[in-house]
Structure 1
Amino acid sequence: MTQELALDTVIRQRIRGLRLARGWSLDALASRCFLSPSSLSRIETGNRRIALDQLVPIARALGTTLDQLVESAEDEDVVIRPQPEHTRGLTTWLLSGERALHGMTVAKMRISPERPTGSEQLSVHPGREWFTVLSGIVRLRLGERTVLIQAGEAAQFSTMVPHVIGAQDGPVEILTIFDHDGERVHLHDSDHASHSSNTGQDHA
């Protein structure tokens, strides 16, 4: 019963929060989900029982789904405990869950000068990539260009340009965001590379 009450409270908070995020008054949302403003107010404040046939139009009006509106508030998926994946000169920690926001994947990488960055390592795929340098100096190869990015700086670029990320002088750490294509090329290919003799190929 306690869990049901807790979820009931969360649902009410979600309705109110989504309404306010859109800048809507009670009247504005009520007109979109065919409820009276007073009924909607009592739903938000807990003075009225929430009925399923009310939640469906409310969710639709708020631009969400019934599943998302009533999903459990349990937080077992909040903490991510990344496990390091190693290839030559590169260690990667996956920092986002399986349902990463908008298909994006967040990863932390530690790159040492031992990582191969020759022409055969240059990667090309659709999309864009972004990273920020946590420590060290990154040597980013973009086609014929070499760009040095210092700690505290960030870089973004089209991944249709052949590219590879390396370390200048000493080890570097970066925080990077991949879209779906970048995640597939860099992280999945590195999994394959870590089990092959050519562990430095085709990454970032």
Structure 2
Amino acid sequence: MTQDEVDVDAVIRARIRGLRQAKGWSLDALAARCHLSPSTLSRIETGARRISIDQLVPIARALDTTLDQLVEPVDDADVVIRPRHDRGHGATIWQLTRDDGPHGLTVAKMRITRLTRPKRLRVHPGHDWFTVLSGTIRLYLGERVVLVATGQAAQFSTMAPHAIVAHEGPAEVLTILDHDGQRAHLDAVDLTPETSPRR
């Protein structure tokens, strides 16, 4: 076994043990669910036995996870989410999911400071959804103007010309965007790193 294989093996064992303990299951309880003996499962968790694929599949199923999730490599990417400033639209954005988010959706937190209606409303395929964390949002949907207050949410077709701005002061929203929404609202804007305020 190479060192990389040993490291991956150790991660898989730790994941099995961690998921089992998170469910509050004993070795006997998990063993019964995946049709292995408790001693075999114990040796798998402790490293006294090599893990085979025909054992991993029922273990993953019993733990309500997938084989891919059990064996995926440890991600050593930067875990800190840094704000980006959209200078053109008066917003600071924290993208909370990576580009390959689940089901093609992107989750982002936005702090919106712009108070005036943009000259041009956006149109793109799909739907947008947001909930207001603080403040009040003024949502432009074609000719309509809808106020969405703290604790309220909005969902709408983005084929309607639309824009969101703050109403009477900064507001923060949590938004879910589909692929088209991400391209229109995150990828196509002037995002630059947030700088520290001058002293």
Shorter-chain TM-score: what band? 0.5 to 0.7
Shift of 1:57: 3.7
Tell me the secondary structure at the aligned position of residue 87 of structure 1: coil
Q: How does 1:1-204 map to 2 (within 5 A)?
A: 8-15=9-16, 17=19, 25-30=30-35, 36-38=36-38, 40-43=40-43, 45-46=45-46, 48-54=48-54, 57-58=57-58, 61=61, 64-66=66-68, 68-73=69-74, 75-118=76-119, 120-126=120-126, 128-191=127-190
User: Residue type of the partner of 1:102?
Assistant: H
Residues of 2 paired with 1:165 and 1:38: CA distance? 57
User: Residue type of the partner of 2:171?
Assistant: V
Shift of 1:170: 2.4
Given that 1:19 and 1:25 are in contact with CA atoms closer than 8 Å, whether structure 2 keeps it comes out as: no
Give the gaps of 5 or more residues in structure 1: 31-35, 195-204
Tell me the secondary structure at the aligned position of residue 173 of structure 1: strand
User: Residue type of the partner of 1:64?
Assistant: T
Shift of 1:18: 7.5
Give the gaps of 5 or more residues in structure 2: 193-199
Shift of 1:174: 1.8
Tell me the secondary structure at the aligned position of residue 99 of structure 1: coil
- Alignment RMSD (CA, Å): 3.8
TM-score, normalising length: structure 1: 0.66
* Aligned residue pairs, count: 184
Shift of 1:183: 0.4
Shift of 1:86: 2.0
Shift of 1:152: 3.1
Given that 1:124 and 1:160 are in contact with CA atoms closer than 8 Å, whether structure 2 keeps it comes out as: yes
TM-score, normalising length: structure 2: 0.68
Identity among equivalent pairs (%): 41
Given that 1:137 and 1:167 are in contact with CA atoms closer than 8 Å, whether structure 2 keeps it comes out as: yes
Tell me the secondary structure at the aligned position of residue 184 of structure 2: helix
Cα shift readout 1:80-100 (whole Å, capped 9, x = no counterpart): 223323214333332332332
